[in-house]
Amino acid sequence: MKQKTSDISTVVIINKNQQPTRSLQIKTKHLSRLKHYALGILSVIVVLVGCIIYLRSQNTQQEIEKQKLLQQIVKLKGAIPAQVVAPANNKEGSAQSYIQAIEGKLKTINDYLRRRGLKGFITKGLGGDSNAEGKKLSDNEVYSLYNDYLNHLMGTIAFTPMGYPRISSFTSFFGYRSDPFDTGNAEFHPGIDFKGKRGDEVKCTASGKIVFAGWAGGYGNCIRIQHINNIQTVYGHLSKIKVKVGQEVNVGDEIGLVGSTGHSTGAHLHYEVRVNGKPVNPVKYLTLNK
C-alpha cells in the first residue's frame, strides 16, 4: 500500500562549502518523535554511566577490604619466625605450612565479617605480645593459642548475631525514649532502628532457624530467628517477609524488606537481640570484639 504524501517529510541538507545540497525523505511520525528518541538514548547513556560508577565504587571497596586482610596476614607472618618448628600435629613440619592453615581460617572469618558489614577483628594478646609473660611461651604454645582462638571464632561466628542487618545509620537506640506517638510520655525501646526506605533488603545477622514469621502487633510484619546459646534476633516493621517458620537460614541471607508496618511512623528496620528471652543492647553485637 502506498503511503500518503503527508506521511513523508523531506529534510534538506545544505553544505556550507557550496557543495550540492542533499535531501532525505523521512516518515513524518519519526520527526515528531525525535525528542522521545533523543530522551530514550540519553536515558540509556545515563543508566550505563551510573552502572559504571557503581561498579567502580564496589571494586574500590573490595580492594580496600582485600588490602586490610593482606596487612593482617603480613603482620601475622612477621610475628612467626620463618625457621621455627611448627606444632607436633602439623604433618608438614614447617612454620610456613602452619601459617597457610591460619590464612585459610582468616579468609573464612573475614568472609563472614564482610557479609555483616564488619571490617576486622583483634588478636592482640593471643600470642603473648612479647611481654614478660609472653616471652616464657614456647613456639608450640603460641601456635596453640592462635589456633584455639581461630577455631573458636570459626565455630561460633556464623551462629552468633553480629554486625548489621542492613548497612545504614541509626534512627533510634536501645533504652528509654519519648513515645513517637505521644512525645509527652516515655517508652522503653528494646532494640535499635536502622534508617531505610520501603523495599530495602534486610539480612539476618547469624545462621539459625525461623521461629516466627508474621504479624506481631506493634512490630507489624515481624521475623524472629533462634540462634545458639538461647539467643534470638528480631526484625520488625517489615513490608514483606521472605521466609517461613521452620526454615533454616544462613548469615547474610535476605529474609525480608524494610517497611513501616505496625507501631511505626515511617519506613525503617527495628532490630533486637534477645538473650534467654530478654532484650539486650544490640550495639554490643555489632562488632566482633565485645
Q: What are the DSSP calls for 107-134, one per residue?
A: HHHHHHHHHHT------TTTT-TTSTTG
Specify the range with the lowest mean pLDDT, choosing from 71-85, 91-105, 125-139. 71-85
Instruction: Name the more confident of 65 and 213.
Output: 213
Does 1 reside within a domain?
no
**Packed helices 95-116 and 139-156: angle between N→C axes, nearest 10 degrees:** 30
pLDDT given for residue 238 in this prediction: 96
Does 19 reside within a domain?
no
Q: Tell me how far apart the alpha carbons of residues 222 and 232 are, in angstroms, rounded to a whole number.
A: 13
Q: What is the domain count for the chain?
A: 2
229 and 140, same structural domain?
no
Residue given cell 529534510 in the structure block: 11
pLDDT given for residue 129 in this prediction: 55
**Residues 239-257: what's their mean pLDDT?**
94
> What separation in angstroms does the CA of 34 have from each of 4, 28, 43?
20, 10, 14
pLDDT 10s digits, 234-247? 999 999 999 999 99
% residues pLDDT > 90 (the chain): 26
Tell me which residue of 165, 156, 181 sits closest to 234, measured CA to CA.
165
pLDDT 10s digits, 5-44? 556 766 566 666 666 666 666 666 666 666 777 788 888 8
| Identity at 213, one-letter amino acid code | A
Specify the range with the lowest mean pLDDT, choosing from 72-81, 171-180, 263-272, 276-285. 72-81
259 and 198, same structural domain?
yes
> What separation in angstroms does the CA of 118 have from each of 32, 110, 166, 221, 285?
54, 8, 11, 27, 11
Q: Tell me how far apart the alpha carbons of residues 56 and 232 are, in angstroms, rounded to a whole number.
A: 37
pLDDT at 84 over 50: no
In the beta sheet, which residues pair with residue 259? 268
Residue given cell 563472614 in the structure block: 112
87 and 133, same structural domain?
yes
Which of 32-46, 77-91, 265-279 tops mean pLDDT?
A: 265-279
C-alpha cell at position 49: 554511566
Instruction: Name the more confident of 278 and 3.
Output: 278
pLDDT at 273 over 90: yes
**Residues 131-156: what's their mean pLDDT?**
67
Residue given cell 512490630 in the structure block: 219
189 and 268, same structural domain?
yes
Q: Tell me how far apart the alpha carbons of residues 279 and 282 are, in angstroms, rounded to a whole number.
A: 8
pLDDT at 289 over 60: no
pLDDT at 100 over 90: no
Of 92, 125, 156, the residue at which a domain comes to its end is 156
* CB of 253 closer than 8 Å to CB of 122: no
Instruction: Name the more confident of 93 and 39.
Output: 39
* CB of 146 closer than 8 Å to CB of 213: no
pLDDT given for residue 90 in this prediction: 47
Instruction: Name the more confident of 212 and 61.
Output: 212
144 and 90, same structural domain?
yes
277 and 186, same structural domain?
yes
Does 17 reside within a domain?
no
pLDDT at 131 over 70: no
Does pTM top 0.75 for this prediction?
A: no
What DSSP string runs through 42-89?
A: HHHHHHHHHHHHHHHHHHHHHHHHHHHHHHHHHHHHHTS-TTSPPPTT
211 and 116, same structural domain?
no
Q: Across all residues in the chain, what is the average pLDDT?
A: 75
% residues pLDDT > 70 (the chain): 56
* CB of 26 closer than 8 Å to CB of 8: yes
Of 118, 133, 156, the residue at which a domain comes to its end is 156
> Could you tell me which residues come within 8 angstroms of residue 15 by beta carbon, excluding any fewer than 6 positions away?
21, 22
CATH number for position 221: 2.70.70.10
Residue given cell 571497596 in the structure block: 61
Q: Tell me how far apart the alpha carbons of residues 118 and 285 are, in angstroms, rounded to a whole number.
A: 11
> Could you tell me which residues come within 8 angstroms of residue 270 by beta carbon, excluding any fewer than 6 positions away?
191, 192, 193, 219, 234, 235, 236, 237, 264
Longest alpha-carbon distance in the chain: 100
| Boundaries of domain holding 74 | 39-156
199 and 91, same structural domain?
no
Does 72 reside within a domain?
yes
**Residues 171-190: what's their mean pLDDT?**
77
